Structures are given as C-alpha cells and as structure tokens.
Amino acid sequence: MKIAMCATEVVPFAKTGGLADVAGALPLALEKLGEEVIVIMPYYRTVKNMKQVKIEKLKEDVFYSVIGKGVKVYFLDNPGYFDRDNLYSEKTGDYPDNLDRFSYYSRRALNLLKEIKFKADILHCHDWQSALVPVYLKARYSRDPFYKDMKTVFTIHNIGYQGLFKQEEFPKLDLNWELFNMEALEYYGKINVLKGGLVFSDVINTVSSTYSREIQTKEFGFGLEGVLNKRRDSVFGIINGLDYDIWNPAKDRFIAKTFNAKSIADKAKNKEDLQKLSKLPLKKDVPLFGIVSRLAQQKGFDIIAEGIDEICRMKVQMVILGTGDQKYHDILEQMVRKYPKVISLHMKFDDALAHKIYAGSDIFLMPSHYEPCGLGQMISLRYGTIPLVFKTGGLADTVTGKNGFVFDQYNKEDLISTIKKAVSAYKDAAKWGRLIAAGMACNFSWDASGKEYIALYKKAKAK
C-alpha cells in the first residue's frame, strides 16, 4: 500500500507532544512491514535550523529528508506561516492565523501528492491541524481521477484540542458555505476543524481502544461525543508503540546498572542510585514509588494532592520528577519540608533522570483521570517497575491485575487503598517477582501496532 502521513509534527524534526512520536515511529514500522510511506509536514524554523540531518531541496517551496531506509519526509515551505519560534502558539496564546496556516498546509499537502505522482491509497491524518485534508479531499479533489480512490484515516491523539475558529474566518477555507452546518464543520456557531476531520474521513481511530469508547461519552468527548457516536462503526483504537531502542533496561546508558528479566537482581543497584541522588535513606525493603509526569489535574494530581500527607505517613519512599501547575508545586514542596526522608521532588524536565526513575523505582504511580494512551506505564513495565493506575484509556488497555495495580473509582480513598495493597504485596517477594516478570514480558513494540494500522488501512480501503 502507498501511505501518505499528514502530520504537523514528526520526531526528530519537530515535537510538542505524543503525536510527533507516533508520526516519527509509525512510518518506520510500516516501512519494515513492506509498505511504501511518505510523510508531509510544514517546514518550521526548527527544521530549517537542524544541522544534524541532511535536508535537500525538491522545488521552490518543498524540501525533503529521509528517515529509516527510504521514508521521505517532505517539508512544505511558507516562511510567512512556518518560519516562527514555535509550532502552534506563543506566550500570549495560539497564533491568531492558525486557520490560515493549517488550511494552507492541508491544501498544499494534497497538491504535492500529484506533483510528486504519489497516488496514495491512504492519507493518514492526525489531530485538528491536518483535519482539513479529508475535508478538502472529499469536497474539492475527489472529482479528479488522481485523487478519486484515495481513502482517509484520521487519528485523534487528544480530543481536548479541536481547532475552534470564528464563523467570520470561514471564507478563508475557500469551501462552500453549505459546509458550515451542524452536520459538517459548524459547532455552536463556530468552525470546528477537528469535527470536519471526524465527519469527512473514512475511518477514525485513537491511540487506545478504551479511549476510543470513552470519547463517545459525555464525560470524555469534549462535546464531540455525538459526532463520534454517529460514526461509531468507523471508530477504532490502536495503542501506540514504545520506542524499544530508547526504552531498554538492557542497554540504557543513563542508568547505574543495566539489567533484563533474567538479571532482575541488578535492578536493586538502580534503586540505590536513585535513593542516593534523591537524598533518601538507602533502604532496600521500603517500596519506592516513582512519578514522571506533567503536574496537572489530568495526570491525577488532584487526588494525589488530597492523599499525599497520608501516603507519606506509610512506610514508603517517593521520587517525583515533573513540572506543571503551581498549586501542585506548592503542595508537594510543603510535603518535602514535612517528610524529607520520604519524598523527593525534582521540578524540571530531565530525560536522564526519567530513565533513572523508571529503572530504580519499585512502583510507578500514574493515576491519570483520563489518558488517551500514556507512555509512562508502558516504559515502567519494561523496566520491571509495577504501574499503579486509574482504569482509563490506554492505562486500562495496558495494565491489569496481572502486571500492576488498577483502581476504577476516581477518588482519593480508592487511590490510597490501592497504594496500601501495593505496599503489602511488595512484602511478598514471590508475588512481586511474578508481577515483574509479567510486566517485562509485555510487548508494546511498534511492530505490533504497525500491523494493526495496516489492518485499519485495509478497512479504509474497502470503504
């Protein structure tokens, strides 16, 4: 199959979130599985300034680079739109011309396909920034034989970001006003770009199967649950893969001692290292909880904050790495002053320390209130660190009673009682060993998810 990935951020060129990881890794997995893939993204300033990759000029406004063996990544150049400090926003908020920028990107991407004669079977689009691709394809391009048979797959990475714009901006899209209605791009008097993607694409998916069901409910749908519900037969979920080259305890250059499932005893050296650098007592028999996260309500910090005093009074240790909301910074700092031998706080973004926490902790705490996919729990499983999660989204799909601890009522009491359960299980070495073994045996590689995407593309082709 010929697949064109339309994504506005792609690792290693530009990244603000998980979408970039997927858009960078999935094409490589698909290439390994024998598919023909190209990627199309804007030529941002960060890409222009990259020294370590080779970028070549294709034509006046198109450049390209190669990832993997032969996946071409095309960069669409428009200095007025993309030669800026950031991708989507500045300090004062979103760039005011985002609708111009990403409608331009979507049309230019479609035109490029014909110019390079890439007659794609599938256009795989991601999030609101490329959601106009399926809209333009159906509304403007499908009469052209070159585009007629192309199908679209649309992936939602976080339904909270929808690309909402004022009605007055609609003429910029150069689409018939008929499309400004409730069944298409209108949402309560505004333009909702994401909604356009959901209505016009052939197949919709999101980054875990549970999240694909959750976004069809009022609690998690951010107002688009009705639209998704109407299309429920075309909504699917595929868990993101993990980059096993980066997250591998047997080869990790950041950690004190590498280990694998067979040499799990060496994990203890990483615990000791983590305790040392976190200035916690060097105790082997006290369970060490790790957190690597944005300090945000979405990640469960409201119930953590409510319960933290009680948790610190248990026989545990806790290392937290993260930045985020000031109110959680304040609460956690207060706890560090109160319980300096129990809790250690690192308020920064630090990749090396993140690796050390995944490797050195016994339990990984990730009680997110909602979680489209989540990486932290998958990384910790790989490092023999038992995840403790709230049953939602990708957490529900990857963590079970066999490899971790799961609670299903989102409140402080259930969080605390599950932590107590984990602390007591930790005392039973044989049981703990079984949990570790089950976690380390899980496979969240891109190979597995790549195969699922191919099956999804086939479904789209059959539409």
Q: How far is the CB of 102 from ligand ADP (least distance, A)?
A: 21
Q: Which is nearer to ligand ADP, 133 or 320 (CB)?
A: 320
The one-letter amino acid code at 121 reads D
Residue among 201, 131, 154 nearest 463 (CA) = 201
Q: How far is the CB of 20 from ligand ADP (least distance, A)?
A: 10
Q: Which is nearer to ligand ADP, 201 or 270 (CB)?
A: 270
Q: How far is the CB of 27 from ligand ADP (least distance, A)?
A: 19
Cα distance between residue 155 and residue 452, in whole Å = 13
Q: What is the 3-state secondary structure (H, E, C) of 399-418?
A: CCCCCCEEECCCCHHHHHHH
Site of interaction with ligand ADP (CB under 6 A): 17-18, 292-294, 321-323, 349-351, 354, 373-376
Q: How far is the CB of 150 from ligand ADP (least distance, A)?
A: 30
Burial string for 432-442 (b: 16+ CB within 10 Å, else e) reads beebbebbbeb
Q: Which is nearer to ligand ADP, 4 or 345 (CB)?
A: 345
Q: How far is the CB of 441 from ligand ADP (least distance, A)?
A: 21
Q: How far is the CB of 458 from ligand ADP (least distance, A)?
A: 27
Residue among 179, 168, 88, 191 nearest 138 (CA) = 179
Q: How far is the CB of 375 from ligand ADP (least distance, A)?
A: 4
Answer for the pair 447, 239: CB distance below 8 angstroms, yes or no. no
Answer for the pair 116, 167: CB distance below 8 angstroms, yes or no. no
Cα distance between residue 157 and residue 128, in whole Å = 10
Q: Which is nearer to ligand ADP, 180 or 222 (CB)?
A: 222
Cα distance between residue 407 and residue 290, in whole Å = 18
Q: Which is nearer to ligand ADP, 184 or 345 (CB)?
A: 345
Q: Which is nearer to ligand ADP, 65 or 158 (CB)?
A: 158
Q: How far is the CB of 387 from ligand ADP (least distance, A)?
A: 11
Q: Which is nearer to ligand ADP, 165 or 370 (CB)?
A: 370
Q: Which is nearer to ligand ADP, 134 or 384 (CB)?
A: 384
Q: How far is the CB of 323 from ligand ADP (least distance, A)?
A: 6
Answer for the pair 445, 32: CB distance below 8 angstroms, yes or no. no
Cα distance between residue 217 and residue 392, in whole Å = 13
- Token duo for residue 420: 């107590």
How many Cα neighbours within 13 Å face the side chain of 416?
14
Residue among 389, 217, 380 nearest 299 (CA) = 389
The one-letter amino acid code at 382 reads R
Within 8 A by CB and 6+ apart from 241, the residues are 25, 26, 29, 444, 445, 446, 447, 448, 449, 450
Cα distance between residue 432 and residue 429, in whole Å = 5
Q: Which is nearer to ligand ADP, 29 or 120 (CB)?
A: 29
